Amino acid sequence: MIVVTGASSGLGAALVSLYDSNQQTTFFTGRSAEKLECLNSTLTHSLGYHRCDMAVHSEVAALFEQLPSTPKTIIHCAGSGYFGLLELQSPQAIQTLIANNLNSAINLVQEAVKRYQNEPVTVVMVMSTAALQAKAQESTYCAVKWAVKGLIESVRLELKDKPMKLVAVYPGGMSTEFWPSSGKAINTESFMSAKDAASMIYNAMSAIGNGYVSDITVNRC
Amino acid sequence: MIVVTGASSGLGAALVSLYDSNQQTTFFTGRSAEKLECLNSTLTHSLGYHRCDMAVHSEVAALFEQLPSTPKTIIHCAGSGYFGLLELQSPQAIQTLIANNLNSAINLVQEAVKRYQNEPVTVVMVMSTAALQAKAQESTYCAVKWAVKGLIESVRLELKDKPMKLVAVYPGGMSTEFWPSSGKAINTESFMSAKDAASMIYNAMSAIGNGYVSDITVNRC
Amino acid sequence: MIVVTGASSGLGAALVSLYDSNQQTTFFTGRSAEKLECLNSTLTHSLGYHRCDMAVHSEVAALFEQLPSTPKTIIHCAGSGYFGLLELQSPQAIQTLIANNLNSAINLVQEAVKRYQNEPVTVVMVMSTAALQAKAQESTYCAVKWAVKGLIESVRLELKDKPMKLVAVYPGGMSTEFWPSSGKAINTESFMSAKDAASMIYNAMSAIGNGYVSDITVNRC
Amino acid sequence: MIVVTGASSGLGAALVSLYDSNQQTTFFTGRSAEKLECLNSTLTHSLGYHRCDMAVHSEVAALFEQLPSTPKTIIHCAGSGYFGLLELQSPQAIQTLIANNLNSAINLVQEAVKRYQNEPVTVVMVMSTAALQAKAQESTYCAVKWAVKGLIESVRLELKDKPMKLVAVYPGGMSTEFWPSSGKAINTESFMSAKDAASMIYNAMSAIGNGYVSDITVNRC
């Protein structure tokens, strides 16, 4: 079973569809029950979904309680964007950004580690190329993405010699619903589609013999 | 005038004392009015203090309103620590960690940029060597410190060609009140004293001719 | 046509075999004509090989002159290892290390950029996880691998808006001929086989729509 | 005694003068005996100089043999620049760049570690902001500077618990003789003077109590 967060739309939804079309069972979550139901109706291998705000620790704990079995892979796609000059950003929107990206990642990783650290479970943390470099007009977005990278790299050290693995995925420039509401006017025509990004990430993730692909960056051409 | 946050104790308090003993006027803030008053009573060049929780945006805005003049330098020392295996950390304590370190830094930088970006004001962001590397049992602490680094590096790009400058300071292993309450048992005997760290940082920060020291790491021997 | 360097053994040889078994034509190079001939005799889609020392610029230029057509992908696997405490390393062996890793990468990238920067050619630079972090007893090896990363990241900036793409691959802990002669006693039983690493890298490299996988790290479980 | 390499001109010469004017004895080296003699004639605390090409291991070993006593600090400023698009760079000039920057740094650190790792000697490695980020038209220069950073960070791990310390200095944009011959046309008017950079680095380097300043970046305003 593949668990996917942030599956209401974008990369998360595309990954659920892709795993489904490859005969893998999925269980997914997102903030919009309507969109999750809509996605679910298109699937043939779904084990269901559970609406949840990943930023709220108790909801994440409840999500894990709901899982029908131990997942093989948990892919954390939940997140949101917020851009523009720092001086123009609103404190409320910054708080939402931190909650949706940093709190949600901490909650996900913490609950996964608590329950599955001694099992061969792979946790895939989807971040952004903003986690890898500084960008003007993306200061708070870079901040929360760098935070998630710092979290992941540190937890990897805690999981040394454990069968659980953390995979880091850094997509850059996807054209999702994310942008129109992000506060930054951008022509996304040359951006990757979520479907294409999902395919590349799906192909790239593998574990063979003694090894596994631990970090993947996907960029626009 | 030098503005120092996190001046109730530790490095912040030591820096205020050091600037004062070098005949520089200071204005400072912290969460404990009692400790700020205690520090203030030892100074000869103080312009006063203002109790404030840097994690609350409106309080930071009020702090800047209170400043008696445009500061030459603003040194952000406010922050707190929280350590231990991720699986053992409490959601509430993690929330406090994010507030004290990430929200406070965003609030400070945002208000400073809004008001002073076109003036030769230096904003010194004191982080930690945890902002530079991953560490087991410091996953959420590294997360918030990496976040602040991502913020700073991005805002530097926004301030390109502006007279305001951001200086990044990364101290490692100081022996402050910070540790006993941090959840990690550590022998801090070989750690730097806050006073010594303050002296090294004070000496290191300079701007001569067309240049300035932009990044400083201070480590234990 | 896929061009592979360092194909005498290890990952390079494994990649040639893998592309061949996937019906893709290859042209390859290495320092041992005997081993190249041996590999060639096992292939069904080979366009041939050319013995060459990638550390010698004129030999690399000659290699490119020999290519039967414009390659779709050039995979640079050539390199060598040298480990142990810095104080115990020999100046001659360090010089060889620099030549085999840094000079060879510069020569390869320079000649590829000169000839193909305006064509949709993908240059894959296989480095090592030693390019991503410092390691005791691998100081000069890390030095040359960090160098190649600095080269690649800089040339990416030069190629902005060009159809040529650079892909960075960071394998960690492969069990190849590399180790017995590397000066560091290591039990490589838990290491990845070159064949498995080749498979994972092969699967991970893709370009779909507007995007491509630009960076891949493969690690031991 | 302070030992300074690359003292024929630029930052190295400025540091020698500065230490001399602060009543500290110096011993220095460079490639031009004439310039070293010229510098020497202006000093009052010089212990002499020794002409040497730091890229040649045997010459570096001979330099260390010549040192009149165990140095307190060794500051490695030797290096050279070479810029421009990769496709336009000459193999010979690249070889010189590698020798002057990477070989020289390896030679210096290796000989210092061999002789002084168990003494409280500080080795200061002067690199460049090019060691910290990728830059178009500086690909090979970034390569060699990233290499030196990888070397230093790795040797720090080897020296853990030893009294010898490595200090990393990253100056950006100095106006030295370096540029006119570097192959990149640049208006250096807004650059730092070597003298100013030397003052800032001199002020920044300190060790007090249990701590020391381990990393310093100096940038143009």
**Which three-class secondary structure string do you get for chain C?**
CEEEECCCCHHHHHHHHHHHHCCCCEEEEECCHHHHHHHHCCCCCEEEEEECCCCCHHHHHHHHHHCCCCCCEEEECCCCCCCCCHHHCCHHHHHHHHHHHHHHHHHHHHHHHHHHCCCCCEEEEECCHHHCCCCCCCHHHHHHHHHHHHHHHHHHHHCCCCCCEEEEEEECCEECCCCCCCCCCCCCCCCEEHHHHHHHHHHHCCEECCEEEEEEEEEEC
Interface residue of C200, C202, C216, C220 to substitute, partner A, most A CBs within 10 Å? C200
Instruction: Give the Å distances, CA to CA, from D33 to A73, D20, D46.
Output: 65, 19, 15
Task: Locate all alpha helices (DSSP H) within chain D, ordered by sequence.
Answer: 10-21, 33-40, 57-66, 91-98, 104-116, 139-158, 194-204
Provide the β-strand partners of residue D174: D192
Q: Alpha-carbon distance B52 to B54, whole Å? A: 6
Provide the β-strand partners of residue B73: B2, B122
Q: Where in chain D are the domains? A: 2-219
Cβ contact (<8 Å) for D219 and B206?
no
Ranges A27-36, C186-195, D186-195, most confident:
A27-36
CB pairs under 8 A between A and B: 124
* Joined tokens for residue C159: 């190629």
The three-point CA angle B84-B89-B92 to 5° equals 135
Chains that touch C (3 or more CB pairs under 8 A): A, D
Cβ contact (<8 Å) for A211 and C220?
yes
Average of per-residue pLDDT across B163-188: 76
Whether B69 has its CB under 8 Å from any CB of chain D: the answer is no
Q: Residue A107's closest CA among B140, D114, B163, D45?
A: B140
Q: Is the pLDDT of residue B73 over 80?
A: yes
Q: Residue B77's closest CA among B16, B153, B141?
A: B16
Helix (H) or strand (E) segment spanning residue D77: none
What pLDDT is stored for residue A125 in this prediction? 98
Read off the pTM: 0.95
What is the pLDDT confidence band of residue C185, given thresholds at 50, 70 and 90? low
pLDDT tens, position by position, for chain D (221 residues)? 999 999 999 999 999 999 999 999 999 999 999 999 999 999 999 999 999 999 999 999 999 999 999 999 999 999 999 999 999 999 999 999 999 999 999 999 999 999 999 999 999 999 999 999 999 999 999 999 999 999 999 999 999 999 999 999 999 988 655 555 555 666 677 889 999 999 999 999 999 999 999 999 999 98
Question: In 3-state terms, what secondary structure has residue D87?
Answer: helix
pLDDT digits (tens, 9 = 90+) for A79-109: 999 999 999 999 999 999 999 999 999 999 9
What is the CATH number assigned to the segment(s) A2-219?
A: 3.40.50.720
What is the pLDDT confidence band of residue C180, given thresholds at 50, 70 and 90? low
Task: Locate all alpha helices (DSSP H) within B99-138, ordered by sequence.
Answer: 104-116
Question: In 3-state terms, what secondary structure has residue B3?
Answer: strand
* Joined tokens for residue D221: 């305003």
Segment 167-206 of chain A within 8 Å of chain C by CB: 170, 173, 190-193, 196-197, 199-200, 203-204, 206
Helix (H) or strand (E) segment spanning residue D49: strand D46-51
Q: Alpha-carbon distance D115 to D136, whole Å? A: 39
**Ordered DSSP codes for B138-171:** -HHHHHHHHHHHHHHHHHHHHTTTSS-EEEEEEE
- Pairing mode of beta strands A122-126, A165-171: parallel
> With pLDDT > 90 as the criterion, what percentage of chain D qualifies?
91
**Ordered DSSP codes for A144-166:** HHHHHHHHHHHHHHHTTTSS-EE
Question: In 3-state terms, what secondary structure has residue D70?
Answer: coil
Whether B211 has its CB under 8 Å from any CB of chain D: the answer is yes
Cβ contact (<8 Å) for B196 and D210?
yes
Q: Alpha-carbon distance C58 to C74, whole Å? A: 18
Q: Which residues of chain A are within 8 Å of residue C197 when distances are taken between CB atoms?
A: 211
Q: Is the pLDDT of residue B66 over 60?
A: yes
Instruction: Look up the ipTM and state it.
Output: 0.94
